[in-house]
Amino acid sequence: MARPIIRRTAIVVNPRRVVQQFAQCFDGSTPELLVRAPGRVNLIGEHTDYNDGFVLPIATEQATWVAVAPGQGRAVRAHSVALNETVRIDLDNPGPPGGSQRWVDYVRGVAACLISSGYRLAGADLLVDSDVPVGGGMSSSAALEVGVAKALLGISGDMVETVELALICRQAENRYAGVPCGIMDQFACLLCRKDEALLLDCRTQHYEHVRVQLQGACFVVIDTQVKHALGRSEYPLRQQQCRQGVEYFRQMDRKVQALRDVSPEMVSRHLSQLDPVVAARCHHVVTENQRVLLAVDAFKKGDLGQVGKLLLASHESLRDRYEVSCAELDSAVEVATGVEGVYGARMTGGGFGGCVVVLAREDAVKPLTEAIEKRYNRVHPKPARILKTLAAAGAGLETL
Ligand code: GLA
């Protein structure tokens, strides 16, 4: 089966066109519902979610759209516009958990996990189109999971509480796509609100919407279009190194359950006894949690200069201590932060490729684009793609 492709030109999904394509694909029929499930950009709080820490994502204007109508019997037919491929899933036998990360695994994973959680699904025809870049950084997979889940539930007339739905979608990704991700992406896709970032406590799952006062600034996403295969094996390795850190600190204090319970002072005090790699990973996580809370304060005060400094500090920590950056991400951050009117920039998402998020004044977007053209695209074989976004709304039904 074909693998997801990376689109090279900026496309924007037109919802009306999605409805037309649905008719072309499914014998002239009209969809009953249209779901929009956004991508996300994590502003700060990277590799903290699986350490019970804090994250601060926004939903993006780029989104995955799913048009849906009742199907025949217990069959789900799903068509991907990007891949021009239709797959069929039997709800009575969605197949075993896998790990191949083909798009069908996300669709059948969501169906299987909803069913095993006790929800009743009916057959459905789905058409999926998306302008969330595939391949790292903006969480196209969570957008697909949430979009499909909402479409299937909507057509089946069943309801799931939002937090539970986020957990079910994450379970689908863990078990059916074999990606051991944390809870940030699915929560962001479902719970974000327009003009607000989502401060999520990944331990308690409590969240707060934080008004993002942009005062004539915006978020620019630089998609390096790079995805190093390394990332797949390094992500579980980082989780393991964090667990090693937890084990170490638990010997001293039985209350330590996760790196969330470890302070920067504790890490500093034990630097010489800890394995240097584990110490560096712990240092990143415990300081990153602090940076998230400081960034929330700075956003609340409208202090974008301070937010920018925290973004850059986060990038440096991810690069030097967590070691999940790569040459392309570092170079994009360097070029961006050299542009007048840019407050700060950092890699966003799991790393080893994917995207950089930049906080910039609106009038800096043009010079930033030019700088990327001149100083990044001429050096790296794959040209970067630039997207602009404000903090958008989380997933929901759209009028047809
Ligand atoms: C990926 C995962 C998230 C999170 C980030 C790193 O995007 O899907 O759960 O762990 O990496 O912050």
Name the strands in the sheet holding 75-80, side by side, starting at the edge strand that comes first in the sequence.
85-90, 75-80, 124-130, 57-70, 33-42, 396-398
| Residues 68/35, Cβ–Cβ less than 8 Å | yes
Pocket test for ligand 1, best of 41, 43, 44, 47 (most atoms within 8 A of CB): 47
Instruction: Label residues 243-273 b or e (16+ Cβ within 10 Å = b).
Output: eebbebbeeeeeebebbbbbeeebbeebeee
What local confidence, expressed as pLDDT, does residue 4 receive? Answer: 31
What local confidence, expressed as pLDDT, does residue 11 receive? Answer: 65
Please give the average pLDDT of every successive group of 10 residues along the chain, which has 400 residues: 36 91 96 98 98 98 97 97 96 88 94 97 98 89 98 96 98 94 97 98 98 94 89 92 98 97 97 96 98 98 98 98 98 98 98 97 97 96 94 95
> If you take atom 8 of ligand 1, which residue's CA is the nearest one?
181
What local confidence, expressed as pLDDT, does residue 5 receive? Answer: 32
How many angstroms separate the alpha carbon of residue 351 from the centre of ligand 1?
Answer: 9
Structure tokens at 182: 């944390």
Structure tokens at 373: 């053209």
The set of residues, in sequence order, having a beta carbon less than 8 Å from that of 341 and lying 6+ positions away, is: 360, 361, 363, 364, 367, 368
How many other CB atoms are there within 10 angstroms of residue 164's CB atom? 11
> If you take atom 5 of ligand 1, which residue's CA is the nearest one?
350
What's the predicted TM-score (pTM) here?
0.95
Active site annotation includes 195: no
Q: How far apart are CA 25 and CA 86, in angstroms?
A: 9
- Identity of the amino acid at 164: E
> DSSP per residue over 233-291, as a string?
HHHHHHHHHHHHHHHHHHHH-TT--SGGG--HHHHHHTTTTS-HHHHHHHHHHHHHHHH
Q: How far apart are CA 13 and CA 31, in angstroms?
A: 16
What local confidence, expressed as pLDDT, does residue 9 receive? Answer: 40
If we measure between CA atoms, which residue out of 235, 256, 225 comes closest to residue 384? 225
Options 131, 185, 223, 275, the catalytic residue:
185
> If you take atom 1 of ligand 1, which residue's CA is the nearest one?
350
Q: How far apart are CA 182 and CA 170, in angstroms?
A: 8
